[in-house]
C-alpha cells in the first residue's frame, strides 16, 4: 500500500483555529486546557478522577445497549474492562445513512488505535463511539453518496421531520429497506458478500437511523470491540441529570462565560463556531417528542409554547431527565461527565468549537480530556493513480478545482494551437496558390482551368485533413472528459474532500478484508495531525 502524508494545513478549507491548535498551540492555549499530544493523554490517564458508582451505572447501561445492537465478544470484553477501571478514548458522529461519510469510520478507527496503543503502554483504555442520535436535523443524515464505476451515486431517504424528532427515533420504513438492498447489490458486485450482508441485516424497515447505524458499526468493528453509546437512552439521561441541574442553576454565569469567550476568540482573530446569545441555554427539551431549544428571559425558560420558572425546570431535570438534551457546546461535556474520557477524537469543526466548550468543562467538570485530531484519508484507486501519472498531476491539482484541472489535463494532452495553426496555414496556402495561379495563367491562359481545379483540390484535401484532425481532437477531449470525471468524482466529489462527501463501504468492498486494518495502522498517535493519500487496489 503506497501512501503519502499531508499536514492538515495542506488541505483545502481547514478552520484557522483548528490549524493553530495543531501547529501553534502556544497561540491558542487560553482556549484549550491541554495540548494535543499522546504524552499529555498518558499524564492525564494517571490522575483521572472518576466516580466508581457512576462507572458501574454506565457499564451496565452500555452493556444493555451494545447487546441490543448485536455486539460480539470483543466488545463484551472491553465493557468488562471499562467496568473494572479502564479509561475511555471517545469519538462520535451523526448516525448517517449507511454509516454516513467516510470520516465517521476514520474517527472510530483513530479511537480504536489510540486506545490500543495506550493499553500497550500500560494504561488500560477502551474505544467508545457516541452516536449522535439526539440531533434533529434529518437532512444531515438521510442521504449518502457512493463512488461506483467512475461516477457518483446518491442514496436518499425521504425528507420530512416536521415533528422535529431526534433522528435516532426516525424509522427507516420500507424505502430504507429497499435502498439497503440496492446498495448491497453494489457491494456484492464490488466483491464483498460480507459487507452486503452487514448492510442488509442492519438497515431493515423496522430499524431507526440510530439502531441501523449502531448495528452496522457493531458488525464492522466487532474484531476491535468498539463500544457504542446511544445518548437517547433514558438511563444515561438519569445519570447525567445532576449535570443538567448544575447547568440550569448556573445558566447566567455560564452564558456570560460563553459570550466572553466569543469575544476573546474574535480578538484573537478567530470566529466562534457556535452562536451564543443573551437568551441561550445549554439544553433542548424533548417532552413532546420534538427537540426544541430552551431559551431564557427574565428568569423564565421557554421551549415552544411551554414556559417554566428556573426552579420548576430544574425540578423537571430531576423527575424526567430523559426529556432533556444538550446543545452542541454542552454535548461533549455531558459525554465526558458520563465517561472516564482521557482523549476525545474530533474533526476540524469539532476541535474548533471545543474552544467555546472549554469554559463549560472548567466550570462544570473541573477536568477536560485531551482533544486529538482524527486521522484523515483520501483513497486513490488504481485507475485514478494511472490517470494522475499519465498527465503528471497530483491529488492537490484535483483539489484546485474543475477549471484548473481541465486546463492542466488539456495542456498535457491537446495542442491548443492546432485549430489556430490550421486557420493561419490554410490562408497562407490559399495566397500561395492564388499567386502561382496568376503567374501560370499569364504564362499560358489555357492553364486557367487546371489552376482552378488544383486550387479546389488543395482546399478539399486540407478540409478533409482538418476534419480528421478534429475527430481525433474530439476523441482525445472525450477521453480527457472521462478522466476528469473519474478524478473529480473520486478525489473532489461535490467540490469537497472525499472523506466528507463519500461513504466508505464501496471502497472497503473493493479493497477486501484487510482494508480497515490497513487504515487503522495509519491512525497511530505517532502521526497525529496528518491526512493520508492512500493508493488501494
pLDDT tens digits for 371-410?
Answer: 999 999 999 999 999 999 989 999 999 999 999 998 888 7
pLDDT the model gives residue 436: 87
* Residue 257 φ/ψ, nearest 5 degrees: -65, -40
Which stretches of the chain drop beneath a pLDDT of 50?
Answer: none
Structure confidence at residue 140 (pLDDT):
93
Residue 299 covered by a domain: no
CA of 360: how far to CAs of 44, 99, 293, 392, in Å? Answer: 19, 30, 18, 50
Domain that holds residue 372: 3-70+88-237+327-382+496-535
Q: Are residues 446 and 331 in the same domain?
A: no
Residues 334 and 471 in one domain: no
One domain, residues 17 and 95? yes
Same domain, 427 and 348: no
Residues 132, 224, single domain; the answer is yes
Could you tell me whether strands 125-131 and 87-93 are parallel, antiparallel, or unpaired per DSSP bridges?
parallel
- Looking at residue 408, its pLDDT comes to 85
CA 527 to chain centre: 19
> Is 128 within a domain?
yes
Q: Do 115 and 52 fall within a single domain?
A: yes
Q: Which residues contact 105 (CB under 8 A, 6 or more apart)?
A: 99, 220, 504, 516
> In this structure, is residue 339 part of a structural domain?
yes
Does some domain include residue 451? yes
Q: Specify whether 131 is located in the same domain as 45.
A: yes
In a domain, 397, yes or no: no
Task: Please state the domain count of the chain.
Answer: 2
Whole-angstrom distance, CA of residue 33 vs CA of residue 344: 13
* 473, 331: one domain: no
Amino acid 385: pLDDT:
96
Residues 6+ apart with CB under 8 A from 491: 378, 380, 384, 395, 398, 399, 498
Express each pLDDT in 37-59 by its tens digit. 999 999 999 999 999 999 999 99
**According to the model, what pLDDT value does residue 454 have?**
84
Same domain, 150 and 219: yes
In a domain, 33, yes or no: yes
- Pair (335, 473) in one structural domain: no
Provide the 8-state DSSP code for 492.
S
pLDDT of residue 70: 97
Rounded Cα distance between 475 and 498, Å, is 29
- Shared domain check, 32 and 48: yes
Asked if the structure places residue 281 within a domain, the reply is: no
Statement to judge: residues 62 and 180 lie in one domain: yes
Strand partners, 6: 531
* Strands 530-535 and 376-380, sheet pairing: parallel
DSSP state of 504: S
Residue 311 within a domain:
no
- pTM score, whole prediction: 0.90
Amino acid at each position: 500500500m503506497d501512501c503519502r502524508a499531508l499536514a492538515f494545513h495542506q488541505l483545502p478549507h481547514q478552520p484557522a483555529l483548528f490549524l493553530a491548535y495543531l501547529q501553534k498551540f502556544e497561540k491558542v492555549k487560553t482556549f484549550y486546557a491541554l495540548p494535543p499530544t499522546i504524552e499529555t493523554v498518558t499524564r492525564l490517564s494517571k490522575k483521572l478522577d472518576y466516580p466508581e458508582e457512576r462507572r458501574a451505572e454506565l457499564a451496565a447501561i452500555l452493556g444493555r445497549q451494545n447487546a441490543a445492537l448485536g455486539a460480539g465478544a470483543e466488545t463484551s470484553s472491553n465493557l468488562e474492562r471499562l467496568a473494572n477501571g479502564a479509561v475511555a478514548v471517545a469519538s462520535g458522529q451523526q448516525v448517517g445513512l449507511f454509516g454516513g461519510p467516510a470520516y465517521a469510520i476514520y474517527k472510530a478507527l483513530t479511537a480504536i488505535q489510540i486506545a490500543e496503543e495506550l493499553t500497550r503502554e500500560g494504561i488500560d483504555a477502551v474505544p467508545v463511539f457516541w452516536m449522535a442520535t439526539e440531533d434533529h436535523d434529518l437532512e444531515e443524515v438521510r442521504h449518502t453518496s457512493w463512488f461506483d464505476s467512475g461516477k457518483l451515486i446518491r442514496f436518499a431517504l425521504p425528507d420530512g421531520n416536521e415533528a422535529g424528532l431526534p433522528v435516532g427515533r426516525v424509522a427507516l420504513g420500507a424505502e430504507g429497506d429497499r435502498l439497503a438492498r440496492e446498495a448491497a447489490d453494489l457491494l456484492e458486485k464490488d466483491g464483498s458478500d460480507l459487507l452486503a450482508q452487514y448492510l442488509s441485516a442492519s438497515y431493515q424497515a423496522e430499524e431507526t437511523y440510530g439502531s441501523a447505524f449502531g448495528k452496522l458499526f457493531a458488525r464492522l468493528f466487532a474484531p476491535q470491540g468498539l463500544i457504542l453509546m446511544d445518548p437517547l437512552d433514558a438511563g444515561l439521561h438519569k445519570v447525567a441529570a445532576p449535570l443538567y441541574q448544575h447547568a440550569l442553576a448556573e445558566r447566567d454565569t455560564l452564558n456570560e462565560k460563553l459570550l466572553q469567550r466569543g469575544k476573546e476568540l474574535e480578538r484573537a482573530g478567530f470566529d466562534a463556531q457556535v452562536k451564543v446569545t443573551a437568551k441561550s441555554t445549554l439544553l433542548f427539551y424533548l417532552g413532546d417528542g420534538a427537540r426544541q431549544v430552551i431559551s431564557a428571559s427574565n428568569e423564565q425558560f421557554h421551549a415552544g409554547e411551554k414556559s417554566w420558572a428556573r426552579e420548576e425546570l430544574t425540578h423537571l431535570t430531576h423527575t424526567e431527565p430523559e426529556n432533556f438534551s444538550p446543545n452542541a457546546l454542552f454535548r461533549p461535556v455531558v459525554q465526558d461527565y458520563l465517561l472516564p474520557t482521557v482523549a476525545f477524537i474530533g474533526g476540524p469543526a469539532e476541535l474548533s468549537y471545543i474552544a467555546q466548550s472549554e469554559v463549560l468543562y472548567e466550570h462544570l467538570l473541573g477536568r477536560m480530556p485531551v482533544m486529538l485530531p482524527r486521522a484523515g484519508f483520501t483513497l486513490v484507486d488504481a485507475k485514478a493513480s494511472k490517470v494522475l501519472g499519465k498527465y503528471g498531476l497530483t491529488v492537490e491539482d484535483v483539489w484546485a478545482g474543475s477549471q484548473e484541472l481541465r486546463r492542466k489535463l488539456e495542456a498535457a494532452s491537446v495542442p491548443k494551437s492546432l485549430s489556430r495553426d490550421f486557420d493561419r496555414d490554410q490562408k497562407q496556402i490559399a495566397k500561395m496558390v492564388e499567386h502561382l495561379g496568376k503567374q501560370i495563367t499569364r504564362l499560358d491562359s489555357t492553364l486557367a482551368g487546371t489552376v482552378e481545379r488544383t486550387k479546389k483540390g488543395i482546399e478539399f484535401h486540407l478540409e478533409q485533413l482538418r476534419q480528421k484532425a478534429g475527430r481525433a481532437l474530439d476523441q482525445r477531449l472525450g477521453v480527457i472528459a472521462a478522466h476528469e470525471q473519474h478524478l473529480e468524482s473520486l478525489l473532489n466529489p461535490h467540490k469537497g474532500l472525499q472523506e466528507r462527501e463519500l461513504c466508505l463501504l464501496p471502497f472497503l468492498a473493493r479493497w477486501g478484508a484487510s482494508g480497515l486494518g490497513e487504515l487503522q495502522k495509519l491512525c497511530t498517535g505517532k502521526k497525529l495531525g496528518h491526512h493520508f493519500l492512500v493508493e488501494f487496489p
